[in-house]
């Protein structure tokens, strides 16, 4: 049973860089059937896709609303993938989830981490 676990600082200062990591347990991060992604939920708002990566091809994809501030990457040696978000503002404060994206499931997100809350404040 695959499990995902987010980690990272819960507090980031405005204009600084947010760095989050998602550890993958019980499965292979290099499995060609899956993408890996980040989704966030701002307070009182709905779900917003942030970024996704396909290790097999190295392709990365980002929500255009982030205006090139985001970088997603995979570290196979640690079986984890990461999100970096530069120049954060208060609007980046959210509950961030990592998820597995299943190609066999029409690219639905079939496994999720429990989420990590990120606050942006000086």
Partner 1 sequence: DIQMTQSPSTLSASIGDKVTITCRASQSISDWLAWYQKKPGKAPNLLIYKASALEGGVPSRFSGSGSGTEFTLTISSLQIDDFAIYYCQHYNPYSWTFGQGTKVEI
Binding site for partner 1 (CB under 8 A): 37, 39, 46-49, 52, 59, 61, 63-64, 97, 101-102, 105-110, 112-115
Q: How far is the CB of 6 from partner 1 (least distance, A)?
A: 10
| Residue 15 or 59 having the CB closest to partner 1 | 59
| Residue 13 or 67 having the CB closest to partner 1 | 67
- How far lies 84's CA from each of 36, 56, 70, 77, 110, in Å? 14, 20, 6, 19, 23
CA–CA gap between residue 4 and residue 40 (Å, rounded): 15
Q: How far is the CB of 15 from partner 1 (least distance, A)?
A: 27
| Residue 16 or 27 having the CB closest to partner 1 | 27
Q: How far is the CB of 52 from partner 1 (least distance, A)?
A: 7
Print burial letters for 14-49: b (CB count within 10 Å at least 16), e (below 16): eeeebebbbbbeeeebeeeebbbbbbbeeeeeeeeb
Q: How far is the CB of 115 from partner 1 (least distance, A)?
A: 6
């Amino acid at each position: 049973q695959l499990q995902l676990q987010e980690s990272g600082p819960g507090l980031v200062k405005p204009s600084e860089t947010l760095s989050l990591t998602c550890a993958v347990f019980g499965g292979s991060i290099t499995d060609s059937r899956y993408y890996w992604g980040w989704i966030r939920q701002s307070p009182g708002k709905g779900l917003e896709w942030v970024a996704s990566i396909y290790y097999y091809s190295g392709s990365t994809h980002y929500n255009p609303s982030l205006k090139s501030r985001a970088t997603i990457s995979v570290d196979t040696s640690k079986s984890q993938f990461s999100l970096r978000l530069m120049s954060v503002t208060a609007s980046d404060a959210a509950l961030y989830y990592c998820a597995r994206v299943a190609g066999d499931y029409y690219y639905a997100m079939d496994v999720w981490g429990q989420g990590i809350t990120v606050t942006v404040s000086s």
